[in-house]
Amino acid sequence: MGSPGMNFPNSEFKPLDPEEFRRQAHQMVDFIADYYNKIASYPVLSQVQPGYLLAQLPQNAPYLPESLDTILKDITNSIIPGMTHWLSPNFFAFFPATVSTAAFLGEMLCTSFNSVGFNWLASPAATELEMVVIDWLANMLKLPKSFMFSGTGGGVIQGTTSEAILVTLAAARDRALDFIGSENIKKLVVYSSDQTHSTFMKASKLVGISPKNIRSIPTYLDSCFSLSPVLLRRAVDADVASGLVPLYLCATVGTTSTTAVDLLGPLADVAKDYGIWVHVDAAYGGSACICPEFRHYLNGVERVDSISLSPHKWLLSYLDCCCLWVKQPGLLVKALSTNPEYLRNKPSDCDSVVDYKDWQVGTGRRFKSLRLWLVIRNYGVANLQNHIRSDIRLAKIFEGLLKV
């Protein structure tokens, strides 16, 4: 039912009236704060059966407006009981999905501006803030200058690791096909370990790698499930001997099953001998490397081609925020750029700016760097390091409990 004061269905319907926005948004913030207060009282894993919601909600959209009060009642009665509460303090599945007030406030700004910064001109601040923040995080991780805008590389915020792997695979593929000819795409081979995230297989197929050329090298408990450079070289040699072309290695710092770490230096040494593009998937574990005592897990990173890390996992940033750094942005742009008449403009034509549409799959993009910027500024590197260290202390306590 429509409530008094609503501007519909008369002719003065105003979807974004600032005063109405203020009133309803305050109400929503209260609702969310109450949810956070109550969250520990819900069962972490939803208790509903498949189809429970379809049976509760009407099959047709309402023709007349409904009030926020009515909608929030349905959230409480129908939606919340059907949720798995990822933010519950009792949630221990998968990986953490850490969040924070600062990131939430950044998300509010991101959404409120609705800036669609596909190229520099479409929203200069969106592009340049992303460049600043991605360099900040690179500095926090002590990445070499070769990955930074202030050096010779650069970075971009992708949605997920899957996209980071997909776009770097596309760049590596096109570089290789320039040499061997696109008719030879079925000769390209990609490498990972049997611990690598399944998204690598998906991305490889998406860029046209033949499924029989996706190598998954076995790992063993006695090397803590780390990918062996010896086994990698053996696999690559066998492929070269049979006329195939090694293309790309996806190494992992912090695997999904056991947070195993592949040693980047020795793997990069093998890759270098064959011109293989090395990508580092540090989605979860990489965040720990903002602490000097854990930075050694990235030793050798100066010799790889690209690295991705998702602050939405361990750096308080809400989904989705996956940072990708590359040494040769030009290769990404070459693989992904488009230049339609309706997006042409002077700064882009002069190559004087970064147009992030050429660094990602889609065209439109949100002002997501605001979230990460607020997190880093509002907490400071010191608190982010404290957050990592405190989690690791808890993990050590848990390890001690398991050992007895």
Q: How far is CA 403 from CA 223, 290, 393, in A?
A: 20, 28, 15
Q: Taking phi first (over 0 means left), then psi (-120 to 50 degrees means alpha), and beta for anything else, what does residue 160 get?
A: beta
Q: Which CB, 271 or 322, lies closer to ligand PLP?
A: 322
Q: 177: which 2 tokens?
A: 């096909």
Q: Which CB, 100 or 195, lies closer to ligand PLP?
A: 195
| CB closest to ligand PLP, residue no | 160
Q: Which CB, 307 or 326, lies closer to ligand PLP?
A: 307
Q: Which CB, 154 or 286, lies closer to ligand PLP?
A: 286
Q: Which CB, 236 or 321, lies closer to ligand PLP?
A: 321
Q: How far is CA 64 from the centre of its chain?
A: 39
Within a 10 A sphere around the Cβ of 322, how many other Cβ atoms? 25
Q: How far is CA 88 from the centre of its chain?
A: 22
First to last CA, the chain: 61
C-alpha 224/C-alpha 108 separation (Å) is 42
C-alpha 328/C-alpha 308 separation (Å) is 14
Within a 10 A sphere around the Cβ of 307, how many other Cβ atoms? 28
For residue 69, the minimal CB distance to ligand PLP (Å) is 35
Residues found near ligand PLP in the complex (CB under 6 A): 95, 160-162, 197, 199, 252, 254-256, 281, 283-284, 310, 322
Q: Which CB, 36 or 94, lies closer to ligand PLP?
A: 94
Q: How far is CA 347 from CA 117, 121, 308, 352, 357, in A?
A: 14, 7, 28, 6, 14
For residue 46, the minimal CB distance to ligand PLP (Å) is 20
For residue 197, the minimal CB distance to ligand PLP (Å) is 3
Q: Which of 85, 95, 78 is nearest to 38 (CA)?
A: 85
For residue 322, the minimal CB distance to ligand PLP (Å) is 5
For residue 389, the minimal CB distance to ligand PLP (Å) is 20
For residue 119, the minimal CB distance to ligand PLP (Å) is 25
Q: Which CB, 239 or 281, lies closer to ligand PLP?
A: 281
Q: Taking phi first (over 0 means left), then psi (-120 to 50 degrees means alpha), and beta for anything else, what does residue 32 get?
A: alpha
C-alpha 247/C-alpha 178 separation (Å) is 13
For residue 398, the minimal CB distance to ligand PLP (Å) is 19
Q: Which of 3, 53, 45, 41 is nearest to 24 (CA)?
A: 3
Place of tokens 């790992």: 219
C-alpha 372/C-alpha 357 separation (Å) is 20
For residue 108, the minimal CB distance to ligand PLP (Å) is 23
Sort 167 into a burial class: Cβ within 10 Å, 0-12 / 13-18 / 19+.
buried
Q: Which CB, 162 or 385, lies closer to ligand PLP?
A: 162
For residue 167, the minimal CB distance to ligand PLP (Å) is 12
Q: Which CB, 119 or 161, lies closer to ligand PLP?
A: 161
Q: Which CB, 245 or 332, lies closer to ligand PLP?
A: 332
For residue 235, the minimal CB distance to ligand PLP (Å) is 21
